Structure 1
Amino acid sequence: MQGLGLQSLKKNPALIPLYVCVGAGALGAVYYTMRLATRNPDVTWNRSSNPEPWQEYKEKQYKFYSPIRDYSNIKSPAPKFEE
């Protein structure tokens, strides 16, 4: 396919920023998806070792960005389930 090879990029260098932007967008999407899969308290990978993973996040920040830095004195929205 024309435009995807190194020879085509040498003939048409205006395509280089396009490839850089598309590559950066793809890497950002993969990074954010992996971060959601590994850091989000709603996702559990191993139920046997940690049956209630949301309890670990009572005083932690798990949002991508938050202006609040200290979560230790804020009431947690995590539910308390007791059996």
Structure 2
Amino acid sequence: MQGLSIASIKKNPALIPLYACIVAGCVGAGYYVLRLATRSPEVTWSHHSNPEPWEAYRTKQYKFYSPIRDYSKLESPAPNYKE
């Protein structure tokens, strides 16, 4: 196909911004998925070292925006399964 080799891109330089946008979108999507897999509280990778990972977020703010500043003084809405 035309436009997929360096020689054909040199013939038609208008394809360069198209390829730049596609590469930027792929890199951004890959970064976002990697960030969700490593930073999201819903995902855990170490079941053996931390069998109850939800307990770490009992007194932390993990929402993007919240009018509450200090979560450590509030009672958590999460159920306590140890009782």
**Percent of residue pairs bearing the same amino acid type:** 58
Count residues with an aligned counterpart.
82
Any idea what the Cα deviations from partners look like across 1:26-81, whole Å, max 9, x if unmatched?
Answer: 11111111111111111111211001112222344445x4376x454566554432
Please identify the structure whose Cα radius of gyration is greater.
2
Q: Partners of 1:14 and 1:67 in 2: how far apart?
A: 45
| Residue number in structure 1 paired with 2:11 | 11
Gaps of 5+ in 2: none
Higher RCO (CA 8 Å, separation ≥ 6 residues): 1
Task: Tell me: CA distance 1:25–1:76, structure 2 relative to 1, closer, same or farther (3 Å).
Answer: farther
Higher mean displacement: 14-23 or 71-80: 71-80
Is 1:48 matched up with 2:48?
yes
Taking structure 1 as the reference length, the TM-score comes to: 0.75
Query: Within the alignment, does 1:57 sit opposite 2:57 as a pair?
Result: yes
Change (3 A) 1:23 1:75: farther
CA contact (8 A) 1:39 1:62 kept: no
Q: Which moved more, 1:12-21 or 1:50-59?
A: 50-59
Distance 1:61 1:4 in 2: 47
- TM-score, length of structure 2 as denominator length: 0.75
